[in-house]
Chains A and B, each alone.
Chain A
Amino acid sequence: MIAILVTFGVLGMVLLTFGERLGRWAFLVAALAPAVSTVWVCAQLPGIVDGRVVSEHLSWVGGLGLAIDLRLDGFAATMTLIVSGIGVLVLLYAASYFSSDAPHLGRLAGLLVLFAGAMVGLVQSDHLLLLYTCWEITSVTSYLLIGNDHTDADARAAALHALLVTSAGGLAMLGGFVLLAAESGTYRLSELADGAVPGGATVTAALVLVLLGAFTKSAQYPFHAWLPGAMAAPTPISAYLHSATMVKAGVYLVARLAPIFAATMVWRPLVLTIGLATLVAGGLRALRQHDLKLLLAFGTVSQLGLMVVLFGAGTPEATTAGWVLLVAHALFKATLFFVVGIIDHQTGTRDIREITPLGPGWRRVEATAAISAASMAGVPLAAGFIAKEEAYGAFAGMPFGGSAVVLAAMVGGSMITFAYGVRFYWGAFVEPRRRARTEGDEAELEPASAPSWRFVAPGVVMAGASVALGVAPQVLDPFASVAVASLHATAEAVHLELWHGFNLALALSVLTLGGGWLLVVFNRRTQSVLATGSAVPTGEAVYLVLLRALAVTSRRVTGIVQNGSLPAYSGVILATAAVLPAAVLLSSWDWPGWPAFGASGDVPIAGLLILAAFGAATARRRFSAAVFLGAAGYAMAGLFVVDGAPDLALTQVAVETLTTVVFVLVLRQLPDRFERQSSSGRRRAVRLGVAGLVGATVFVFAIIAGGSRIAPPVSDEIIARAEPDGHGRNIVNVILVDFRALDTFGEITVLAVASIGAVALARVGRRVAEEGAEEGKEPVVARAEGLNRIVFVDVSVRVIFHAVLMASLWLLFAGHNAPGGGFVGGLLVGSAITLRYIAGGMKDVRGRSRFRPWTVLGAGLLLAALTATFPLLGGGDVLDVASASVTVPLLGTARLSTALVFDTGVYLTVVGMVLMAFEAFGDEPAEAPT
């Protein structure tokens, strides 16, 4: 079963991606998935009729009870057959309906397959959350299918309407499911059906929410308005989604839950009222449509109402009637849509006032339409009649209070159904001929060309089935019995018959046919009475008001929280970061007392830092600001020395040097002075306020946190284990490349990403400039560089360069045991590269190595990654460290461990990053693109 769902998913995705080039053949390919599903279910049928249940279980998150539970019982098999079987026919029909040059056929076919898969999943799922997931997939695919013609504003609006209504209902339903599961302790439908019926206020609320989902999906009053709107979709889509399958999801859910909950207080009044109202009101509106498709759409709304009544009653007899109607409706409604599609396709209209007379080539279509309309109207010898008889029979015995009302409303609704059934056939076939005869202009009209047999065949198949089931309904007995039994465990076997003898049901059927006929005959006189159908208030106005309010609210909220101003964003973030911790600090005030004022070395360094910070903030020139920033950095290095952190001091000095260099490289392109800021005094005050707040919070936090240590630091253990476990004496380095090596790996990844980003940003458009340069602009730059070189700088740099490289290698190699390591070593190489840049510009930097900066960067990252994952081969864990003692001339003895290899990766990444920085900013301004 899961395999079949996967087939739907994969085929759908493939068609979405590659289906365009298949043209309308895509539909034939698409038909494979539902065909497989149909064949599979047919193969299971003998077993299912014997009462067996096919189920599959795939656990996903066991602890949360999340699983894919599929269960094929009699009722699920019915739905699967309808969804898959009609799916095949619709896809075959679509292959004739669309012309090969219509746009987006692959997309349509793919979406239809995905939709069909979701629908199959929905009816087979035994887990409420899985059901919900499939439910929402059908909503989303239906949205895309209705809005297929995305250039049409109406189609877009209709799609949005359908999506908002059905997914809002879906959300309510999800809430209901959660409540239901909380109360009953299970998400499994089968366990829910077998277990004791829970009751109480929670269950009542849950049921109302779940029903809200079912009613929106099945277009019940007052949520029905989206369904007629959804007729904006191409007709094959309407035939499939909005008549035969998706809208039946709500009915399906009602059918599943009714036997369990029908006896609860809220169920029957709610379900039967809504269902009957939908039956009558939808029918009345169908009776007044001129567009054949809209007529069928309102007819569908009405029939869905009847199905909700039948399944919702929760008695085995009514469920039987519902089951027959479900099958019959799928057969006749899809066929009628097919007929409308054919007429629309061949004549160019589906308005019954404009359809041209249809010639002799249309006999098959006409017969198909007549049979299906008869089935819809409930005429004997068609499947719809059996359903109607069963329905009357189910309520004739008055199984519960109010049955008489239900019966009366059903008879009324069925009369209307009969009337609009006749209207459909009459309007499409008879009336155009009569009109042509009376007006006598038949000769002038171009007769519509008859459709090809391939176009008609799918409808003929279903119309044939309608007649077969209408004449010999008893062939369905075994299937119907097991389907009803899968909903009502105690149900007796079903016997469907054309002739039940003289009883109340037959009398009502006669009454229905007679009343319906009168409605047709006295059409004009009854119009004014029937027009009340359109006066019934619907949910459209409410929908529009809600939509408008939602839009206005979201606009206001977005305008405030996303105003597009960077200072506003950072201001909010920083102020929050200051205020929230401050509130916590103040609410649990526990003053540890003032710490020492300061160590002797601290004061001058602190003074220098503060001065440099203010200098950087107030400098008018960009260069001065950068220099002040550099001074602050060196002061930090001094602080690290005083604090016993030689690694940090080394790193800080190297970073500060390189930062200053890069700053200067960029700033030489920017204007020297900051332009006068035109910001108001109020903004300045806000900035100062936030800054003061942040500073104050940090100060208080630092004092309190510093005096609040309650446990010994974890670093005691780190110090103790550094040498035995990490084989290194420089504990900071051991932490970086061994204990916390995964963090370090993450960090060098960030370095790589940031430098790739920098190069990309700075060099966008450069390729174009370089290509232009090849056409004769290049020599200018080369000459300029040649002239700028100074001999003694050049020579001394060449000497120093290699010495610095050796030093960096020593730092890398010795870093495990003495101050140093990959980061510092790499940064030192960066300094050496800076020297070369000063001497010879970018040309010299690039000339140092055959490797491009990104190659070095990637090699470093790759080396680190390989070292990290290497132990996996031997069955170890990621980043396990192995080591051996090695003596290298000049560099001394070290325990050479894989940590060193990892550190080499870090080293290379940092070197790559510095090279990337020069690649980004190093070119002379003349070379830069303008």
Chain B
Amino acid sequence: MTIVLAATAATLFAVGTYLVLQRKLSRIIIGLSLLTHGANILMITSGRRGAPPIIGRADPSTFADPLPQALALTAIVITFAVTILLLALGYRSWLLTDDDEVEDDLADRAIARGDILRKEIADQETFMSHEHGDAGP
């Protein structure tokens, strides 16, 4: 780990976070990619730096740490798959709304306003009022 790379990773994380917090899906996707780059730098630099870890090409004691490399490799490919999926989401959103903006969830807003629960309570109250009065003599 060097100061330069730590700062680079931190910058990528910060810029990525800023983009992920927006509503445009294309920006969110770019933000996620930058976050991944930052994470990969952290991963790679967490190990020893050195020669490519291929036996026979250098002295094994000078090898770069291969384990973070394997982890980062999977991370790169996974990010590719996630990017494709998110792009498909953006594409779908564009087809439906002519935009790739992530709107607030309408059902969640309705719950927050209490539209749904109020009805349940009303049901309970009507039920209580006419089922349980004594009929009298």
B54–A670 touching, CB < 8 Å:
no
A722–B131 touching, CB < 8 Å:
no
Given A652-B76, A670-B26, A713-B67, A818 and B13 contact (CB-CB distance below 8 Å): no
Given the complex, which residues of B lie within 8 Å of A758, measured CB to CB?
84-85, 87-88
Interface centre among A616, A651, A670 (most CB of B within 10 A): A670
For window 662-690 of A, CB contacts with B under 8 Å fall at 662-663, 666-667, 669-671, 674-675, 677, 679, 686-688, 690
A490 within 8 A of B: no
Given A574-B20, A648-B72, A731-B55, A640 and B5 contact (CB-CB distance below 8 Å): no
Interface centre among A567, A732, A929 (most CB of B within 10 A): A732
Given A564-B112, A606-B5, A920-B88, A818 and B54 contact (CB-CB distance below 8 Å): yes
B67–A718 touching, CB < 8 Å:
yes
* Residue among A643, A647, A755, A930 making CB contact with B73, cutoff 8 Å: A647
Given the complex, which residues of B lie within 8 Å of A677, measured CB to CB?
22-24
Interface centre among B14, B45, B111, B130 (most CB of A within 10 A): B14
B105–A564 touching, CB < 8 Å:
yes
A655–B34 touching, CB < 8 Å:
no
B90–A747 touching, CB < 8 Å:
no
Given the complex, which residues of A lie within 8 Å of B114, measured CB to CB?
552, 555, 559
Give Cα A691 to B35, complex, Å.
Answer: 11
For window 44-61 of A, CB contacts with B under 8 Å fall at none
Look across to chain A and name the residue whose beta carbon is closest to the beta carbon of B89.
A761
B84–A754 touching, CB < 8 Å:
yes
For window 1-49 of B, CB contacts with A under 8 Å fall at 1-24, 26-27, 30-31, 33-34, 37-38, 40-42, 44-49
Give Cα A424 to B19, complex, Å.
Answer: 74
A133 within 8 A of B: no
Look across to chain B and name the residue whose beta carbon is closest to the beta carbon of A534.
B134
For window 509-565 of A, CB contacts with B under 8 Å fall at 524, 527, 531, 534, 540, 544, 547-548, 551-552, 554-555, 558-559, 562-565
Given A158-B127, A551-B120, A595-B3, A817 and B73 contact (CB-CB distance below 8 Å): no
For window 621-678 of A, CB contacts with B under 8 Å fall at 622, 625-626, 629, 632-633, 636, 639-640, 643-648, 651-652, 655, 658-659, 662-663, 666-667, 669-671, 674-675, 677
B109–A666 touching, CB < 8 Å:
no
A655–B77 touching, CB < 8 Å:
yes
B1–A729 touching, CB < 8 Å:
no
A154 within 8 A of B: yes
Taken residue by residue from 742 to 756, chain A's Cβ proximity to chain B (1 for < 8 Å, 0 otherwise) reads as 011001001100110
Interface residue tally on B, bucketed by range: 35 or more
* Residue among B12, B27, B67, B111 making CB contact with A613, cutoff 8 Å: B12
B67–A715 touching, CB < 8 Å:
yes
A135 within 8 A of B: no
Given A548-B121, A735-B67, A602 and B5 contact (CB-CB distance below 8 Å): yes
The distance from the CB of B122 to the nearest CB of chain A, in whole angstroms, is 9
A186 within 8 A of B: no
Given the complex, which residues of B lie within 8 Å of A85, measured CB to CB?
none
B70–A562 touching, CB < 8 Å:
no
B132–A540 touching, CB < 8 Å:
yes
The distance from the CB of B64 to the nearest CB of chain A, in whole angstroms, is 4
B10–A702 touching, CB < 8 Å:
yes
B87–A754 touching, CB < 8 Å:
no
Give Cα A610 to B52, complex, Å.
Answer: 26
B84–A920 touching, CB < 8 Å:
yes
Give Cα A734 to B19, complex, Å.
Answer: 36
* Residue among B21, B33, B50, B120 making CB contact with A644, cutoff 8 Å: B50
A747–B111 touching, CB < 8 Å:
no
Look across to chain B and name the residue whose beta carbon is closest to the beta carbon of A353.
B135
B21–A691 touching, CB < 8 Å:
yes
Given the complex, which residues of B lie within 8 Å of A647, measured CB to CB?
69, 73
Taken residue by residue from 94 to 120, chain B's Cβ proximity to chain A (1 for < 8 Å, 0 otherwise) reads as 110001101011111101111001101
Given A527-B137, A563-B112, A762 and B88 contact (CB-CB distance below 8 Å): yes
Given A229-B131, A636-B40, A715 and B17 contact (CB-CB distance below 8 Å): no
Give Cα A290 to B21, complex, Å.
Answer: 64
Look across to chain A and name the residue whose beta carbon is closest to the beta carbon of B42.
A702
A571 within 8 A of B: yes
A555–B111 touching, CB < 8 Å:
yes
Look across to chain B and name the residue whose beta carbon is closest to the beta carbon of A160.
B124
B127–A551 touching, CB < 8 Å:
no
Give Cα A342 to B118, complex, Å.
Answer: 38
Taken residue by residue from 66 to 83, chain B's Cβ proximity to chain A (1 for < 8 Å, 0 otherwise) reads as 110110111011111111
B44–A610 touching, CB < 8 Å:
no
Given the complex, which residues of A lie within 8 Å of B83, measured CB to CB?
659, 662-663
A: number of interface residues (CB 8 Å): 145
Given A558-B112, A643-B44, A616 and B76 contact (CB-CB distance below 8 Å): no
The distance from the CB of A741 to the nearest CB of chain B, in whole angstroms, is 11
A640–B44 touching, CB < 8 Å:
yes
Given A644-B49, A755-B81, A567 and B88 contact (CB-CB distance below 8 Å): no
* Residue among B31, B89, B128 making CB contact with A540, cutoff 8 Å: B128
The distance from the CB of B3 to the nearest CB of chain A, in whole angstroms, is 5
Given A229-B127, A732-B69, A559 and B5 contact (CB-CB distance below 8 Å): no
Given A706-B45, A736-B70, A692 and B131 contact (CB-CB distance below 8 Å): no
Given A606-B7, A691-B15, A819 and B52 contact (CB-CB distance below 8 Å): yes
Given A563-B108, A629-B33, A674-B27, A731 and B54 contact (CB-CB distance below 8 Å): yes
Give Cα A160 to B117, complex, Å.
Answer: 13
A570–B49 touching, CB < 8 Å:
no
B91–A229 touching, CB < 8 Å:
no
For window 443-483 of A, CB contacts with B under 8 Å fall at none
Look across to chain B and name the residue whose beta carbon is closest to the beta carbon of A573.
B20
B127–A670 touching, CB < 8 Å:
no
B54–A730 touching, CB < 8 Å:
yes
Given the complex, which residues of A lie within 8 Å of B9, measured CB to CB?
698-699, 702
A719–B66 touching, CB < 8 Å:
yes
For window 591-610 of A, CB contacts with B under 8 Å fall at 594-599, 602-603, 606, 609-610
Given the complex, which residues of A lie within 8 Å of B95, measured CB to CB?
928-930
Given the complex, which residues of B lie within 8 Å of A626, measured CB to CB?
30
Give Cα A462 to B34, complex, Å.
Answer: 77
Give Cα A647 to B7, complex, Å.
Answer: 25
Give Cα A729 to B55, complex, Å.
Answer: 5
Given the complex, which residues of B lie within 8 Å of A928, measured CB to CB?
95
A651–B73 touching, CB < 8 Å:
yes
Look across to chain A and name the residue whose beta carbon is closest to the beta carbon of B115.
A555
Interface centre among B77, B94, B111 (most CB of A within 10 A): B77
Give Cα A565 to B67, complex, Å.
Answer: 38
Given the complex, which residues of A lie within 8 Å of B45, measured CB to CB?
643, 702, 706
Give Cα A562 to B99, complex, Å.
Answer: 24
Interface centre among B4, B8, B34 (most CB of A within 10 A): B8
User: Residues of B with Cβ closer than 8 Å to A?
Assistant: 1-24, 26-27, 30-31, 33-34, 37-38, 40-42, 44-56, 60, 63-67, 69-70, 72-74, 76-85, 87-92, 94-95, 99-100, 102, 104-109, 111-114, 117-118, 120-121, 123-128, 130-132, 134-137
Sample (5) of A-B pairs whose CB atoms are under 8 Å apart: A613-B16, A645-B44, A655-B79, A694-B13, A731-B66
A sample of 15 more A-B contacts (CB under 8 A), given A563-B108, A564-B107, is A551-B118, A551-B120, A552-B114, A559-B114, A562-B108, A564-B104, A613-B37, A617-B34, A626-B30, A651-B77, A658-B80, A677-B24, A691-B18, A702-B10, A913-B81
User: Residues of A with Cβ closer than 8 Å to B?
Assistant: 153-154, 156-158, 160-161, 225, 228-229, 232, 285, 288-291, 524, 527, 531, 534, 540, 544, 547-548, 551-552, 554-555, 558-559, 562-567, 570-571, 574, 594-599, 602-603, 606, 609-610, 613-614, 616-617, 622, 625-626, 629, 632-633, 636, 639-640, 643-648, 651-652, 655, 658-659, 662-663, 666-667, 669-671, 674-675, 677, 679, 686-688, 690-692, 694-696, 698-699, 701-703, 705-707, 713-715, 718-720, 722-723, 729-732, 735-736, 740, 743-744, 747, 750-751, 754-755, 757-762, 764, 817-819, 823, 827, 910, 913, 916-917, 920-921, 928-930
